[in-house]
């Protein structure tokens, strides 16, 4: 059953005449208790999509969508107070840089108990002692040793991993139905990354909450997610279950992402990289957004922007989606020119 349903989400920044399009018609759905990964490189719009769902995109950003529904409630029509009752309680989010995401002037206790005071149970909202008990419980839940001492600490006295655990504790404090984790391990030491990820997954299982994991690291995705949504330049380009999407990617971008992984390049001298860069504000291509960088681009790609084709669990935004052996289908014929056009450095 769908927990979060996003239909045709658009997010823009900047001038109306020449806007920076961060999210360009994204459809997204997450089921109750599901672990979905939202994957893409910087500038793909994955973070902004999540922020828009939470209502955290502030002026001068402009958000519009056909549907934005959470747990049956229409987020678009919610008033401020109603949205705030939902955000932080039923939907929670943790961010990339945990040390910067905690307020340096307040202790862990203050920040943790603040959430409880606003969203907690009746007991927690009125009783400071109840809040403290729950706060300690939460710190233990996220495997922080010596929680009493940690409660008194200020953020700058914590390590990155510890801070992220505190963030997670804050996020799950009121038992949310959906947790969005935006690059939760990117800013952490490699040794700590695995621990934090394991923690996230364990909590997800135990609390039965849905988890949207936003990341650019495909290696993480393979081990954690049930379903993957690949984004590029503000659009969803492929969706599919793990491991099928990795064994047989249908979109050239996904294929390229996988090809760039060190694991797939073991017998090579250099990593295979995707040439070109993500389109910026002023050079958004007509036709398929990937065509300047796609090795299979032909005339139709340059003219016509593809829709998402395929069954709902396995879609790809490509006129010539790849088959199981990685070759374009749909009557694709290579062009006589050998080099794909590059979108400039």
Partner 1 sequence: MLAFILRRVALIIPTFVGVTLLAFALIHLIPGDPVENLSGERGMDPARRQRLLHEFGLDRPLPVQYGAYIGEVLHGDLGSSLTTHERVLDEFLTLFPATIELAFFAMVFAVGLGLPAGILAALRRNTVADYAVMGVSLTGYSMPIFWWALLLILFFSVQLGWTPVSGRIAVEYDVATTTGFMLIDTLRAGDWAAFRSAISHLILPSIALGTIPLAVIARMTRSAMLEVLREDYVRTARAKGLPRWRVILVHALRNALIPVITVIGLQVGLLLSGAILTETIFSWPGVGNWLVHGVQSRDYPVVQGGILLIATIVISVNLIVDLLYGVVNPRIRHG
CB of 47 to partner 1, least distance (A): 11
Nearest distance from residue 114's CB to partner 1, in Å? 7
DSSP state of 340: P
Choice between 89 and 302, CB closer to partner 1: 89
Among 18, 42, 56, 194, binds partner 1 (CB under 8 A): 56
27 vs 124 by CB, closer to partner 1: 124
Name the burial class of residue 200, with classes exposed (0-12), middle (13-18) and buried (19+) by CB atoms within 10 angstroms of its CB: buried
Least Cα distance to 37 among 195, 274, 242, 190 occurs for: 242
Measured between its terminal Cα atoms, the distance across the chain in Å is: 44
Cis peptide before 235 (omega within 30 of 0): no
Q: Check whether the bond before 277 is cis (ω within 30° of 0).
A: no
User: How near is the Cβ of 55 to partner 1 at its closest, in Å?
Assistant: 9
Instruction: Give per-residue burial for 22-52: e unless 16+ CB within 10 Å, then b.
Output: bbbbbbbbbeebbbbbbbbeebbbbbbbbbb
CA 310 to chain centre: 22
CB of residue 223 to partner 1, shortest distance in Å: 26
| Site track 117-136 with partner 1 (rule: CB under 8 A), x = hit | -xx-----------------
Using CA atoms, how far apart are residues 305 and 59, in angstroms rounded to an integer?
29
| DSSP conformation class of 87 | B
- Part in contact with partner 1 (CB under 8 A); list of ranges 7-15, 78-86, 143-151, 256-264: 78-86
Which C-beta is closer to partner 1: that of 209 or that of 237? 209
Number of H helices and number of E strands within the chain?
Answer: 13, 12
**Which CB atom, from 85 or from 261, has the smaller least distance to partner 1?**
85
| Residue 129 beta carbon to partner 1: minimum distance, rounded to whole angstroms | 21
For partner 1, the binding residue among 42, 126, 157, 329 (CB under 8 A) is 157
CA separation for the pair 3, 138 (Å, rounded): 25
Closest contact distance (angstroms) between CB of 251 and partner 1 is: 31
Work out which of 127, 136, 154, 285 binds partner 1, going by CB under 8 A: 154
Task: Return the range that interacts with partner 1 (CB under 8 A); candidates 81-89, 206-214, 225-233, 253-261.
Answer: 81-89
Smallest gap from residue 153 Cβ to partner 1 (A): 8
User: Per-residue contact track with partner 1, 85 to 114, x per CB under 8 A?
Assistant: xxxxx--xx-x-x--xxxxxxx-------x
Among the listed ranges 152-160, 257-265, 272-280, 325-333, the one in contact with partner 1 (CB under 8 A) is 152-160
Using CB under 8 A as the binding rule, whether residue 323 contacts partner 1 is answered as: no
How far apart are alpha carbons 326 and 307 in whole angstroms? 20
For the record, the structure tokens of 139 come out as 């710190």
The upper half-sphere exposure of residue 237, i.e. CA atoms within 13 Å in the direction of its Cβ, equals 31
The residues that touch partner 1, with contacts defined as CB under 8 A, are 54, 56, 80, 83-89, 92-93, 95, 97, 100-106, 114-115, 118-119, 154, 156-157, 167, 170
């Amino acid at each position: 059953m769908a927990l979060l349903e996003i239909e045709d989400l658009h997010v823009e920044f900047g001038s109306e005449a020449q806007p920076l399009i961060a999210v360009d018609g994204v459809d997204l759905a997450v089921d109750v208790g599901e672990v979905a990964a939202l994957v893409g490189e910087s500038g793909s719009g994955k973070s902004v999509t999540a922020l828009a769902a939470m209502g955290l995109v502030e002026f001068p950003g402009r958000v519009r969508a056909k549907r934005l529904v959470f747990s049956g409630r229409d987020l678009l029509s919610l008033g401020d107070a109603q949205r705030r009752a939902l955000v932080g309680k039923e939907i929670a989010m943790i961010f990339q840089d945990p040390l910067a995401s905690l307020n340096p002037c307040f202790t862990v206790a203050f920040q943790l108990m603040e959430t409880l005071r606003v969203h907690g149970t009746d007991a927690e909202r009125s009783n400071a002692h109840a809040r403290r008990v729950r706060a300690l419980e939460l710190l233990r839940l996220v495997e922080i040793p010596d929680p009493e001492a940690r409660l008194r600490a200020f953020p700058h006295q914590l390590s990155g991993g510890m801070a992220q655990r505190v963030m997670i504790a804050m996020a799950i404090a009121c038992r949310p139905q959906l947790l969005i984790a935006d690059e939760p391990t990117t800013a952490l030491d490699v040794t700590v990354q695995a621990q934090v990820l394991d923690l996230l997954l364990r909590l997800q299982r135990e609390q039965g909450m849905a988890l949207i994991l936003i990341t650019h690291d495909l290696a993480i995705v393979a081990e954690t997610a049930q379903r993957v949504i690949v984004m590029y330049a503000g659009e969803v380009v492929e969706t599919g279950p793990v491991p099928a999407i990795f064994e047989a990617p249908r979109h050239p971008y996904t294929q390229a992402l996988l090809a760039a992984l060190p694991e797939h390049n073991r017998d090579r001298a250099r990593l295979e990289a995707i040439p070109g860069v993500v389109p910026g504000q002023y050079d958004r291509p007509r036709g398929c957004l990937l065509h300047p960088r796609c090795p299979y681009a032909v005339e139709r790609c340059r003219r016509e922007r593809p829709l998402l084709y395929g069954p709902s669990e396995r879609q790809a935004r490509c006129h010539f989606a790849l088959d199981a052996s990685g070759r374009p289908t749909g009557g694709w014929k290579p062009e006589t020119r050998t080099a794909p056009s590059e979108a400039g450095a």
